[in-house]
Amino acid sequence: MKTVICIVCPKGCHLNIDEEHGYEVSGFGCERGIAYGVEEVRRPMRMITSTVRIDNAALPRCPVKLDKPIDKHLIMAAMKELDQVRLTSPVSEGQIVVENVCGSGASFISTRSL
């Protein structure tokens, strides 16, 4: 049995998910909480946003994000990959900065033109 706090709405229901009995969810306030609870126990995914170094730009850091969520346990490894990156201006919004982050198939892309 695992407990997660639902983040679908502000109410923050405490969901109990029974992974040994077909991911049965209890403690939910609405249907959306069931789907969230199951996904959160089976395979928690997260978005990461961060920054990378950039040279010759108005600012020394360029913000980036993943183009799709990755497995939660890969977060710190993904951050390490960003440490190696050094961009040079100009960079445009949406430009790929790191491809296939930690073999996940997701990429880091720039979130502003700089």
Partner 1 sequence: MYDLIVIGAGPAGLAAAITAAKNGLKKILIAERDREAGGILNQCIHNGFGLHYFKEELTGPEYASRFIRMLADLNIELMLNAMVLEITPERHVHVINRDVGYKVLEAKSIVLAMGCRERTRGAIAIPGSRPAGVLTAGAAQRYVNMEGYMVGRRVLVLGSGDIGLIMARRLTLEGAEVLACLEIMPYSSGLMRNVVQCLDDYDIPLLLSHTIVEIRGDKRVEEAVVARVDQNLKPIAGTEMTFTCDTILLSVGLIPENELTDKAGIEIDPRTKGAIVRENMETSCHGIFACGNVVHVHDLVDFVTEESEIAGRGAAEFVLNEKSETADEMTLLCGDGVSYVVPQIVRRERVAKTQTVYFRVNRLFDKSRVVIRSGENEIAAFKRPYMAPGEMEHVKIPKALLDKAEGAIVISVEEDVS
Question: Smallest distance from the beta carbon of 114 to partner 1, in angstroms?
Answer: 9
Q: Which is nearer to partner 1, 1 or 79 (CB)?
A: 79
Question: Smallest distance from the beta carbon of 34 to partner 1, in angstroms?
Answer: 16
Residue 55 carries which side chain, given as an amino acid letter? D
Question: Smallest distance from the beta carbon of 64 to partner 1, in angstroms?
Answer: 8
Radius of gyration of the chain, Cα coordinates, nearest whole angstrom: 18
First to last CA, the chain: 47
Which residues are near partner 1 by CB under 8 A? 5, 7, 10-12, 29, 46-51, 53, 58-61, 63, 65, 72, 75-76, 79, 93, 111-113
DSSP for 50-65?
EEEEEESSSSSEEEEE
- What is the rounded CA–CA span in Å between residue 95 and residue 58? 18
Say whether the peptide bond before residue 90 is cis (omega within 30 degrees of 0): yes
Q: Are 15 and 4 in contact (CB under 8 A)?
A: yes
Q: Which is nearer to partner 1, 22 or 76 (CB)?
A: 76
Q: Which is nearer to partner 1, 23 or 109 (CB)?
A: 109
Q: Which is nearer to partner 1, 22 or 58 (CB)?
A: 58
Question: Smallest distance from the beta carbon of 79 to partner 1, in angstroms?
Answer: 5
